[in-house]
Structure 1
């Protein structure tokens, strides 16, 4: 592979980290190459399992998502806005369950800044770390197998431990949002999120627009189980038709 092709394909993957799908014409214009060159790149990368070709473009392969460290550098301003809005739902004395992910860490950081005397049950080391600046917040870490790329514990022990608790809110991220519900790339994490949803009085999904209409293996809840969806842009028409009738409070930050 030539150096130019290697750089171009690395840029294509970087673009997919921040956008749910890419169009061939847009990529060609951005990289100042022909559409045929981009088509060859996408075909080659599809063969390597790095992405999936669509009519006129490409999307990330099913179950492929950047690790949590990479996600922290994407759409930072949007995720901070989402975190501010979601944190306003939390009141003193609440018990929360917070899932892993980059947007949930932004939300937890805001919660630590404005809220006192709450209890947080989490499996995310990133969430626990940003909450720890507030000495009035009690943090309960869930046991389980440590998943390094997610920075969180998962597995049977994690899910079983959750069955002993109830919470006012579960605050969860998502790899994708479909008409059937939020989905996650990591099946093991999806099982933890499903358990949190079942043990909380209200579930809040925090997810930016790059998750719209993206599907991943683990659907961990249906929209009737979700109380609030906090995002940064109006929903796509298809998502709106599926979500709004289910009674979800959709808030655009």
Structure 2
């Protein structure tokens, strides 16, 4: 083995360790960490994917099999980016809304940015989100209970489903694992996807805030199609051609940190269909 081959193998071993720890990696971050070009990292990821060590996605890679990383680990990953998404998503919420906050580390950021004094009712099946909001006297908090799935970090069992069936939120803020232009929103875990579909069905509208590496990546189980009652909040570096394709489907799209329309509260409860 040549010296160059040795360096490549060593770098890929470290990349794989990062994948096992976090479940996903970004080419841009790896290029900076190893002081190499993004093209070099993309070659590494292509080689690793060919050996079954990872799955290539837009902007990086996931651990092979689309494994869901436990929520307790995801909450510390890409915090600045998720905070920007959370702020933009929260700006879409109108006063007096009843919202369902689904499981997800980005949705935890949404919870932290919910508008003050807006008279919101917040429903969640996620203990970490409930804990974040439990001290807020300016909103009503309702917790959906049941067995907590350790990977999802939320209650998604039959008890949680039975409680959800009696609720009719104005807006479901959905946590998803991937999205494609033709397949819509998706999740890695079957029972989680089932719960998410019911949450969308119960709600008048759905909003999903997604980090860029989830775009163009389909997870194993379908959650929701891309329909006009869906609002998407994406990062400002989202691929422009991909975003144009989404806009052609008449979706309500906001770019975090760039789109001023995100502060207009486009969907107040009185505008919701019966």
Q: 1:82 and 2:82 equivalent?
A: no
Tell me the equivalent position of 1:120: 122
Structure 1 Cα separation of the partners of residues 204 and 49 of structure 2? 46
Report if the CA contact (8 A) 1:17-1:65 is conserved. Answer: no
Structure 2 Cα separation of the partners of residues 94 and 104 of structure 1? 16
Q: 1:245 and 2:252 equivalent?
A: no
User: In the TM superposition, what whole-angstrom CA distance separates every residue of 1:22-59 from its partner, at most 9, and x where no partner exists?
Assistant: 9x99998649xx99x9589827962xxx42479xx965
Structure 2 Cα separation of the partners of residues 165 and 105 of structure 1? 21
Q: Equivalent of 1:205, from 183, 203, 208?
A: 208
Structure 1 gaps of 5+ residues are none
Question: Could you say if the C-alpha distance between residues 234 and 228 of structure 1 is closer, same or farther in structure 2, counting changes exceeding 3 Å?
Answer: farther
Tell me the equivalent position of 2:172: 170
Aligned residues: 240
Q: Equivalent of 1:156, from 155, 158, 178?
A: 158
CA RMSD of aligned residues (A): 3.4
Question: Could you say if the C-alpha distance between residues 242 and 128 of structure 1 is closer, same or farther in structure 2, counting changes exceeding 3 Å?
Answer: same
Q: Equivalent of 1:131, from 124, 130, 133?
A: 133
Tell me the equivalent position of 2:24: 17
Tell me the equivalent position of 1:42: 48
Tell me the equivalent position of 1:146: 148
- Runs in 1 of length 4+ with deviation above 6 angstroms? 24-29
Q: CA deviation at 1:68?
A: 1.2
User: In the TM superposition, what whole-angstrom CA distance separates every residue of 1:169-190 from its partner, at most 9, and x where no partner exists?
Assistant: 1111211111121111122221
139-148 vs 119-128, which deviates more? Answer: 139-148
Structure 2 Cα separation of the partners of residues 142 and 167 of structure 1? 13
Q: Equivalent of 1:191, from 194, 211, 217?
A: 194
118-127 vs 95-104, which deviates more? Answer: 118-127
Question: Could you say if the C-alpha distance between residues 15 and 45 of structure 1 is closer, same or farther in structure 2, counting changes exceeding 3 Å?
Answer: farther
Structure 2 Cα separation of the partners of residues 104 and 136 of structure 1? 19
Tell me the equivalent position of 1:182: 185
Structure 2 gaps of 5+ residues are 1-9, 257-274
Report if the CA contact (8 A) 2:206-2:229 is conserved. Answer: yes
Report if the CA contact (8 A) 2:228-2:250 is conserved. Answer: no
- TM-score scaled to structure 1, two decimals? 0.80
Structure 1 Cα separation of the partners of residues 141 and 117 of structure 2? 13
